[in-house]
Chain A
Amino acid sequence: DAKTTQPTSMDCAEGRAANLPCNHSTISGNEYVYWYRQIHSQGPQYIIHGLKNNETNEMASLIITEDRKSSTLILPHATLRDTAVYYCIVRGQGGSEKLVFGKGTKLTVNP
C-alpha cells in the first residue's frame, strides 16, 4: 500500500505556481520522497526526489518539512502541459525497493 496521502484533485491558473502537498507521516530515516507525474495516456515521468533537504531542478522544487512528515512539490509557473496526475512516493533506494503508486493528485491547469 502507498505510504502517502495526497488531495484527490487541485486546480491552478496558467502561469501561477502550483503547490502540491503530500503527507508521509510514517516515512523512515532511509526513505526518499519521489515525485512522478502521468500525463494522460503516457508513461509516468520522474520529476524530482529528496531525502531531507529541499531540492530544485529544471522542472520543479521539492520542499520537505524538517520532521520529514510532509512535503510540497512546487511547479513555479504552471502551463497547460502540466495538467497531469502527480504522484508522491516514499521509497528506499535499494534495488529491491518497490515504487508504490498511490492515487495521486489530478492537477488541472486552467487558461
Chain B
Amino acid sequence: DTAVSQTPKYLVTQMGNDKSIKCEQNLGHDTMYWYKQDSKKFLKIMFSYNNKELIINETVPNRFSPKSPDKAHLNLHINSLELGDSAVYFCASSQVRGTGELFFGEGSRLTVL
C-alpha cells in the first residue's frame, strides 16, 4: 500500500479552469502538507494542516484553497488556473510529536495550457 497517495498523477488543463488534486495518507499521521516544485526545481511549502486545522499558510494566491475533510486527507483546489501554476505538487504527511520526518507522495504534475 502506498503511504501517501496523490491523484491525479498528471493533469493537463486550460487557463481559467478549476481543478483539484487529492491526497490521502494511511500512516495515521496528524499533519499534512502541500509543496509546489516549479520548473526550476525549487520545492516550496504552500500549506500545512494539523488535525484538520490550518497551521502553515505561506504567501499563496487565494485561488488555491486546501481542504482537509479528515486528518487522513488533504485536497488542493485551484481556481482560475494560470500558466504560472504549472508545476509538480507534492503532498506530504508527518506526525507532529514524532521524529519530524515527512513522507512525500509521488507528486501531481499540473500543466496549464
> Size range of the interface on A?
20 to 34
- Decide: B102 and A85 in contact? CB cutoff 8 A: no
> Size range of the interface on B?
20 to 34
A106 nearest in chain B by CB position: B41
Total A-B pairs, Cβ < 8 A: 55
Which label, helix, strand, loop or mixed, suits the secondary structure of the B interface? strand
Q: In the assembled complex, how far is the CB of residue B87 from the closest CB belonging to chain A, in whole angstroms?
A: 13
Can you give 23 contacting A-B residue pairs, CB < 8 Å?
A34-B101, A41-B107, A43-B4, A43-B90, A43-B92, A43-B104, A43-B106, A44-B43, A44-B90, A46-B101, A49-B99, A49-B100, A49-B101, A91-B100, A95-B31, A95-B96, A95-B97, A96-B48, A96-B55, A97-B100, A98-B45, A98-B56, A99-B33
Q: Is B86 an interface residue (CB 8 A)?
A: no
Q: Is B64 an interface residue (CB 8 A)?
A: no
Residues of A near any B CB (own CB < 8 A): 32, 34, 36, 38, 41-46, 49, 85, 87, 91, 93-101, 103
Residues of B near A94 (CB, < 8 A) are 96
Contact with A along B36-47 (1 / 0, CB 8 A): 000001111100
- Decide: B104 and A95 in contact? CB cutoff 8 A: no
Q: Is B25 an interface residue (CB 8 A)?
A: no
In the bound complex, what is the Cα–Cα distance between A63 and B76 (angstroms)?
38
